[in-house]
Structure 1
């Protein structure tokens, strides 16, 4: 695999599992040194082990992205360890509890917004200054198809992901002339632990989700990771402020 990110450094939040893990491994396989950040450490260190197997370098940092001090410490540790920050995939997020808009609890609303939306903002707040110092960088935020269309039963999640899309566009415009590109990926139904939690691993529920996908299947985390890699690469040098669906054609219908 071509080492297009040789000598570069990438942060991946929510990197212990799912899409985050796939992205962290993909960055490392292309030569980047990776900071794997998550509020929950995988005791088996699966992400770090896969990165090492790919010939890459990585460190793990505990980080609750809803807390400014945690995010600041994550970025400062990145700089003190590797001396630079070139890419960030702000991926950490939760789906929250399933409930209608009028039944959604205030606790669920606050927690979901704080992690998904405030967390994305805090990450960029602390990442962008270092990229400005370097004169270049690329950030990808993880939104969702639920950031582009409505989705019943997850009001806080939908609002948070719509917010991520808007925040991405705003930050992209603010930094366009500073050579910092900021985009978002909007995954559809990706086979991760999040989907398993939503469906309860019920086969009929899984079939309902698959039926939403024109391609007739769930996506793999690695397919989202490849979109993240492309958006960070020089191949996407004229792309910024874009919310890219990686959704098997879901929102095209």
Structure 2
């Protein structure tokens, strides 16, 4: 009988991370979810446990190394291993032109999007190396391979995520561990609304400019993450899988 795999999902209290957590829980994985809002996390844990009792919540700030390490330690202690890690925690920061960017905004975005992903992989992969197997999926963005006016700091952080993804993939591929990323384009989330200044007309115009004339759903991105993480394609290594309604085509 095949052993049930253990999946860790950061940034699991909203957007893509939340939908991904719901999908993995529904598929019967042992799931650890994390976020920075204790009460919301416990509420989400209780909700998911109604369909899968093997779900646990652990509060963690992905800009804090001690909390990141404690999260991975908790996962292994709770379920005995770490098979799949989804690093979905991220911030878009404040939209600013390059002549207006502030140190505070740069540090805030990079502390979660880059520092957090790098240190998450540090401890996730260390746990996976013990078992000589595992799969890591980082959540990047189309902003990780194309410029975005007034969002240069966010774009730079996602370029960094993709560089980290491919570099780590090369380091651990021979050890049975795969590292990949998904790069969503516009997704129907509050983040998209913030990107267009909560202007419904601007949002509709942007979506209509896409080749598919529709934004992705969080369910579509979650399904892509599940496939990358555990779809049986063992030679998918160091890839950035783009789901963007044709935006970058």
- TM-score above 0.5, yes or no: yes
Work out the CA distance in 2 between the residues paired with 1:68 and 1:141. 17
Asked whether the 8 Å contact 2:86–2:139 carries over to 1, the reply is yes
Work out the CA distance in 1 between the residues paired with 2:3 and 2:92. 34
> Alignment partner for residue 235 of structure 1, among 222, 232, 236?
232
Specify every segment of 5 or more residues in structure 1 that has no aligned partner in the other structure, as ranges.
none
Asked whether the 8 Å contact 2:35–2:41 carries over to 1, the reply is no
Aligned to 2:232, the other structure's residue is in SS state helix
Matches within 5 A, 1:107-122: 107-122=104-119
Asked whether the 8 Å contact 1:15–1:47 carries over to 2, the reply is no
Asked whether the 8 Å contact 1:189–1:209 carries over to 2, the reply is no
Work out the CA distance in 1 between the residues paired with 2:108 and 2:201. 29
Work out the CA distance in 2 between the residues paired with 1:46 and 1:108. 30
Residue 92 of structure 2 is matched in structure 1 by 95
Work out the CA distance in 2 between the residues paired with 1:169 and 1:120. 13
Asked whether the 8 Å contact 1:189–1:213 carries over to 2, the reply is no
CA RMSD of aligned residues (A): 1.8
Structure 2 length normalisation: TM-score? 0.95
> Alignment partner for residue 126 of structure 2, among 126, 129, 132?
129
> Alignment partner for residue 194 of structure 2, among 197, 219, 225?
197
> Alignment partner for residue 150 of structure 1, among 138, 144, 147?
147
Aligned to 1:10, the other structure's residue is in SS state strand
Residue 135 of structure 2 is matched in structure 1 by 138
- Cα distance 1:196–1:42, how it changes in 2: closer, same or farther (>3 A)? farther
Q: Does 1:14 align with 2:11?
A: yes
Work out the CA distance in 2 between the residues paired with 1:51 and 1:223. 20
- Cα distance 1:152–1:63, how it changes in 2: closer, same or farther (>3 A)? same
Work out the CA distance in 2 between the residues paired with 1:80 and 1:13. 17
- Cα distance 1:184–1:106, how it changes in 2: closer, same or farther (>3 A)? same
Q: How big is the shift at 1:128?
A: 0.5
Residue 221 of structure 2 is matched in structure 1 by 224
Q: How big is the shift at 1:195?
A: 1.4
- Cα distance 1:162–1:86, how it changes in 2: closer, same or farther (>3 A)? same
CA deviation vs aligned residue, 1:31-62 (integer Å, no higher than 9, x gap): 21111111224638564355234335211111
Asked whether the 8 Å contact 2:117–2:138 carries over to 1, the reply is yes
Aligned to 2:66, the other structure's residue is in SS state helix
- Greater displacement, 59-68 / 39-48: 39-48
Q: How big is the shift at 1:250?
A: 0.8
Residue 71 of structure 2 is matched in structure 1 by 74
CA deviation vs aligned residue, 1:93-130 (integer Å, no higher than 9, x gap): 00000001121111101110111011100100010011
Q: Does 1:209 align with 2:203?
A: no
Aligned to 1:43, the other structure's residue is in SS state helix
How many residue pairs end up in the alignment?
A: 249
Work out the CA distance in 1 between the residues paired with 2:234 and 2:143. 26
Work out the CA distance in 2 between the residues paired with 1:42 and 1:197. 24
CA deviation vs aligned residue, 1:77-108 (integer Å, no higher than 9, x gap): 11111111000000100000000112111110
